[in-house]
Amino acid sequence: MDKNVRTSGRCRNDISPGCIVDIILKEDQCSGKVTRGIVKDILTNSLTHPHGIKVRLRDGRVGRVATILGTESSNEK
């Protein structure tokens, strides 16, 4: 994925471990507050999900991907 492309988190194929994403935690669903982190695990098994693919971040927080911002390697340049 191009480092400048922002994409929604509804398609599992667009997300992989190491992606930098904004997620919505369960407790933040009403407010829509996003939390930024790096994907450790993809928890949703289906190819798509209307509310976003569920992931676990490296810090252990779990939520649904709102936006994919890039990958670790694209930000090192």
Q: What would the pLDDT profile of 24-43 be if each residue is shown by its tens digit?
A: 999 999 999 999 999 999 99
Domains of the chain, residue spans? 7-72
DSSP string across 2-66 = -TT--EES-BGGG--TTEEEEEEEGGGTTTT--EEEEEEEE---SSB-TT--EEEETTS-EEEEE
CATH topology of domain 7-72: SH3 type barrels. (2.30.30)
pLDDT of 32-72, one tens digit each?
Answer: 999 999 999 999 999 999 999 999 999 999 999 999 999 88
